[in-house]
Amino acid sequence: MYWGHAVSKDLIHWQEMAPALMLDQLGSPWSGTSVVDRNNTGGWGKDALVLVYTAFDRNTQKQVQCIAYSTDNGVTFTRYAGNPIVDSNREVGSNDTRYPKVFWYEPTKHWVMVLFEKDGMSFYTSTDLKAWTRKSHFKSLHECPDFFELPVDGDTRHLKWILHGGSSSYFIGSFDGESFSPESAELRYAEGANVHGDDALYAAQSFAEMPDGRRVQMAWGRIQPEGMPFSQMMLFPTEFKLVTTRDGLRMRATPIEEIEGLHRKTQTWPSLTAADANQALDRAGSGPLDVRLEVTLEKDSELAIRYQGKTIATIDSAELENGRGSLEVLIDKAVAEIFVDAGARYIVREIPITTGDHGLELGLGKNMSAINRLEICQMKSMWKTPEANQR
């Protein structure tokens, strides 16, 4: 296993580079974090790009934490001669010590590492990225930690910490620089499984220090369609927000606005029946598509979303406020991503590969239910450059 490497200016169009990390004497480079060392705390140069990752030895089954750094803006990487920086297998009584999430904690000016160890998330601190001290352990969640702050309802004066693991499970809470205190039950921001029953969305990581302050994540889509020249995929980038709901604070994920840069042809209808909507969807073809709609569902009614005749999601009227709501459906090769009411539900579904015209369709349960607005955007390939797409 290697560290792949790609760069992008919009999180939509990507240029693939040579692998950042290959196998070495400590093993395969597994997942981790990249950070910018703005204050040169590690001694590799101001603004060095530092990778903190797990190395896995197939022979001993050991999992240890290591560093590689780049002083040429991420073109090439050099492994730290003092690796591993954390070797806690014996101390925690398990070889399950992997996937470091690292960030700079400004209030006390030290680095924090969140590391999955045995049965939960351990919190380490360091001043130089090299010497680490375990400060606390949170017994919950599994693998691939991500940890960040979000403003409540967009208020940057009111922030809460989000801790989540490999799946979409997460906790809301507070953090003092050394330990996490949960203030919610374990929650989930996404749903959906692959054909093997595993979470279709897994191992998500978010981008820190985005120029506009957004918290955007990309997740591994554990979907492996037959007959395609790729093994699984990355899902569409989504933006996280923390909002107040009738059930309390909840994290929402919605598609980033840059997806509109892939729109090729857009058609909009102000009001239409389900039959007319399905005719329009049939004309649009099987994908890729970005479909947005507003609906009114009669009490005890439901909206079925189907692809190739198979129901991939059902929306009940009770889920929507007064039966009215909005949906966005992204259709790509082998996957559908469905967002209900700005992420109140985020559904990932595996769909069949098809070359035919017939794909997405809608089913309304009762005659009084209605589609108030429909927008169908046929999309270009993200693998072609923007200039090529425009020609």
Summarised one tens digit per residue, pLDDT across range 76-109 is 999 999 999 999 999 999 999 999 999 999 999 9
**121 with 179, same domain?**
yes
**268 with 237, same domain?**
no
Cα–Cα distance for residue pair 205/97, rounded to 1 Å: 18
Confidence (pLDDT) at 135: 98
**362 with 301, same domain?**
yes
Cα–Cα distance for residue pair 351/335, rounded to 1 Å: 5
**55 with 182, same domain?**
yes
pLDDT tens, position by position, 170-210: 999 999 999 999 999 999 999 999 888 899 999 999 999 99
**156 with 223, same domain?**
yes
| 253 inside domain | yes
pLDDT tens, position by position, 295-341: 999 999 999 999 999 999 999 999 999 999 999 999 998 999 999 99
**176 with 44, same domain?**
yes
Phi, psi of 359 (to 5 degrees): -145, -95
The one-letter amino acid at 100: P
Of the three residues 205, 227, 257, the one that is the final residue of a domain is 257
Q: What is the DSSP letter of 343?
A: T
pLDDT tens, position by position, 236-275: 999 999 999 999 999 999 999 999 999 999 999 999 999 9
Confidence (pLDDT) at 391: 38
Of the three residues 257, 281, 309, the one that is the final residue of a domain is 257
Confidence (pLDDT) at 174: 98
For 156, the 3-state DSSP assignment is: strand
**31 with 151, same domain?**
yes
**253 with 270, same domain?**
no
**243 with 265, same domain?**
no
| 204 inside domain | yes
Confidence (pLDDT) at 229: 85
Confidence (pLDDT) at 383: 80
**69 with 180, same domain?**
yes
| 139 inside domain | yes
| 1 inside domain | no
Cα–Cα distance for residue pair 204/33, rounded to 1 Å: 12
What average pLDDT does this structure show over 11-31?
95
* Residue pair 369/298 in contact by the 8 Å Cβ criterion: yes
Q: Look at the chain and count its residues.
A: 391
Q: How many domains is the chain built from?
A: 2
| 190 inside domain | yes
Residue 371: which domain range? 258-390
Mean of pLDDT over the chain: 94
**124 with 219, same domain?**
yes
CATH number of the domain bearing residue 97: 2.115.10.20
Cα–Cα distance for residue pair 267/374, rounded to 1 Å: 8
**128 with 16, same domain?**
yes
Contacts of residues 146-149 at CB distance under 8 Å and 24 or more positions apart, as own/partner, are 146/101, 146/204, 146/205, 146/206, 146/217, 147/101, 147/103, 147/112, 147/114, 147/175, 147/180, 148/103, 148/206, 148/208, 148/215
| 62 inside domain | yes
CATH number of the domain bearing residue 363: 2.60.120.560
For 233, the 3-state DSSP assignment is: strand
| 352 inside domain | yes
* Residue pair 99/30 in contact by the 8 Å Cβ criterion: yes
* Residue pair 136/110 in contact by the 8 Å Cβ criterion: no
Q: b vs e for 226-236, b when ≥16 Cβ sit within 10 Å of the residue's Cβ? A: eeeeeeebebb
pTM of the model: 0.94
pLDDT tens, position by position, 339-389: 999 999 999 999 988 766 679 999 997 777 899 999 999 999 888 755 544
User: Cα 84 to the chain's mean position, in Å?
Assistant: 28
Of the three residues 257, 291, 317, the one that is the final residue of a domain is 257
| 363 inside domain | yes
